[in-house]
Homo-oligomer: A and B are copies of this chain.
Amino acid sequence: LAYRIKCTVAYDGTNYFGWQRQKNQPTVQDKIEYSLAKLHNEDIQIHGASRTDSLVHANNQVFHFDSTLDLTESKWKIAINNFLPKDIYIKKVEKVSNEFHARYSVKKKRYIYKMSINDYDPLKRHNVSFVRRKLDISLMKQEITKLIGTHNFKSFTGGTIYENYVRELYEADLMYDEGDLIFTFVGKGFLRYMIRTIVGTLVEIGYGRKEDILKILNDQNRDSAGKSAEPQGLYLDKIWY
């Protein structure tokens, strides 16, 4: 009899080539599957909710796998963490029904992006993107909210061909506090590089080098948008099922 196990995991993406298994590059999925293989004495495949890119972090990524081992939820947590490196940590383990799928059952996801216009801080270099001062933050706040709703986001993606570039953003928000900016995006699904490209474009708007995010959106052309923001500011923050 196999049990379906749902795990919530936090990781520091600094030392990984992203979530997804790759040949000859360390990834978060690798490390977790290695731990599960140790526990099971056989290969176990996990299914993640979201593929995070190189250097991107997660406060709460979710994955599932099936197992014939019958442990309590708290024993599972200890057992998996036991074979994981210190930059990956299983926060929660839940036994779920076989209907649950970490990727296909997602209702919505939240990503946050951390940026700073303060002086460079070496202690934050892996966790925040530092940009120059003189950003027009109130303009950026005004522009970001225009992205809420259902749009074709083709201008803000690259590297992958999709059948359909339409996505819905339930929330898009920018908070500013003492030099720190936090961008928040909530949606059911996102295109590749979509958040980093929206953030990078908003920064160029903040510098006055671009204007009118709806015009950029409506161009449906990657060349209209700005450079993607650096990966280390991005966090997969929460997933709802």
Contacts and interface: CB of A to CB of B under 8 A. Distances in A.
A125 B81 CA distance: 15
A12 B14 CA distance: 15
Contacts of A119: 91
A122 B11 CA distance: 6
Contacts of A87: 122, 125
Contact of A57 (B11, B86, B123, B127): B123
B10 A125 contact: no
A10 B91 contact: no
Nearest to A89: B122
A120 interface: yes
A152 to B, nearest CB: 34
Contacts of A120: 89
Contact of A123 (B121, B122, B125, B127): B127
Q: How large is the interface on A (under 10, 10 to 19, 20 to 34, 35 or more residues)?
A: 10 to 19
A88 B11 contact: no
Interface in A1-47: 10-12
A122 B28 CA distance: 13
A121 B86 contact: no
Nearest to A57: B123
Nearest to A235: B123
14 contacts: A10-B121, A10-B123, A11-B123, A12-B122, A12-B123, A12-B125, A57-B123, A59-B123, A86-B122, A86-B125, A87-B122, A87-B125, A88-B122, A89-B121
A-B residue pairs, 4 tightest by C-beta:
A89-B122, A12-B122, A87-B122, A12-B123
